[in-house]
Amino acid sequence: PRLSRQDIDAFLIRARERGYETALRFGKRGLNLAATAAVQAATKSQGALAGRLRSFSMQDLRSLPDRA
């Protein structure tokens, strides 16, 4: 079967729209992944800092010279 000029134009328009939709979908997915990674990194670094501060014992703190 032969395609008319209108059929070809309609096909190209649909292909272009699908391309935009696909690009938007992957862009949104990429941004969501990046945001999730940033939140996880911030949470882990905060936990590491808290763990480091907890590692100091009261004896360590008592051995610091008084500045009065």
- Give the three-state DSSP class for 4: coil
DSSP state of 65: P
Residue 10 resides in a domain: yes
pTM: 0.53
Q: Please say if the pLDDT value at position 1 is more than 70.
A: no
Residue ranges making up the domain that contains 37 = 5-62
Closest CA to 38 of 26, 28, 46, 27: 46
In a domain, 68, yes or no: no
Give domain status of residue 39, yes or no: yes
pLDDT in tens, 17-34: 999 999 999 999 999 999
Q: How many domains does the chain have?
A: 1
Helices (H), 1-68: 5-54, 58-62
3-state helix, strand, coil in the chain (%, to 5): 80, 0, 20
Q: How do residues 39-68 score in pLDDT, each as one tens digit?
A: 999 988 988 888 777 777 766 777 777 775
% pLDDT > 70, the chain: 90
In single-letter form, the type of residue at position 9 comes to: D
